[in-house]
Amino acid sequence: MPLGGRPLFPEIVNAHHRIAPHVVDLTGASVFLKHEHHQITGSFKLRGALNKILANESACRDKGVIVASSGNHGIACCAAAAKLGTTHGENGEKTISVTVCVPSSVSEAKRSLMEHYGAHIITVEGDCVNSEARARREADERGMVLVHPYNDMQVMAGQGTIGIELNAVQNPHCLVVACHAANSCVMYESLKAGRTLAADEVDQKPTLCDGVAGGIEHNCVTFVHCRDVIDHHVVVSEAEVREAMKWMAESEHFIVEGAAALAVAGLVKSLR
């Protein structure tokens, strides 16, 4: 399948030869590691942000973008707006302004990066569900385009382009394994309960995986897709995430955050 004018398969072969001596030794299996941490913003979130903003570009330029994020999604929306730049038309120059509602627990490094992009930051007490509710309210009151981090089909479609690049979408034998941080696994507990649980219904603790921590919106579309698509679940401890981060640094020479190491930790745990 072509990617940016280049065939994808040779890239996969190169990746196989590159990582096999390390990953096979650890897991006893051949593993293809998707380097989404090498995206422009350091995560896969740029895909969903770009797709949502491009699909609604005129409204985004006219009204501005409102985002709820604990960091990576907000950074991605800022980068997408910057990438699309300024248009020049009959009504003058138009840029895409970005406002990000962040929980009070947002990391200072991620907040600083969003501010560096020129985003207006609104700090909301509580977790990400509170900041998501504030973003919805701001969007309704100010007519801005809401770019939700997960409860949005166009954002989800953008993130799903990873599957096309991996050829997983067309592979009927592909199994989807979801990895959850034990200290904050609201989606996992919701799927077990058969409904979206409120954040206070699940025991949560601080986690290295801040990018996936917190609650989920009531009746979010993501819940239905997770319910229908995920084949297996792996719940990973903080110690296992820490070990995966250490292994990525020592064996692959990649410095990744906890949420990025979560899949590696889940892989190792499931194969032991």
Percent pLDDT > 90 in the chain is: 65
- The structural domains of the chain, with segments of one domain joined by +, span 1-33, 45-150, 175-272
> Which pLDDT score is estimated for 89?
59
pLDDT in tens, 201-245: 999 999 999 889 888 999 899 999 999 999 999 999 999 999 999
Helix ranges (H only) for the chain are 9-27, 45-55, 57-63, 72-84, 108-116, 128-142, 153-159, 161-165, 186-193, 221-229, 238-247, 258-271
> Which pLDDT score is estimated for 1?
47
| 3 state DSSP class of 65 | strand
Higher pLDDT, 125 or 28: 125
Quickly state the pLDDT bin for 5 (edges 50, 70, 90).
low
The answer to whether the beta carbons of residues 145 and 110 sit under 8 Å apart is no
In this predicted structure, the answer to whether residue 171 has a pLDDT above a threshold of 80 is no
Quickly state the pLDDT bin for 32 (edges 50, 70, 90).
confident
Quickly state the pLDDT bin for 174 (edges 50, 70, 90).
confident
DSSP 248: I
> What is the C-alpha to C-alpha distance for residues 186 and 213, in angstroms, rounded to an integer?
8
> What is the C-alpha to C-alpha distance for residues 96 and 63, in angstroms, rounded to an integer?
8
> Which pLDDT score is estimated for 17?
79
CATH topology identical between 45-150 and 175-272: yes
Q: What is the CATH number of domain 45-150?
A: 3.40.50.1100
pLDDT in tens, 56-92: 999 999 999 999 998 999 999 999 999 998 765 566 6
Q: Under CATH, what is the fold of the domain 175-272?
A: Rossmann fold (3.40.50)
pLDDT in tens, 34-45: 889 888 898 999
DSSP 200: G
pLDDT in tens, 83-123: 998 765 566 678 899 999 999 988 899 999 999 999 999 99
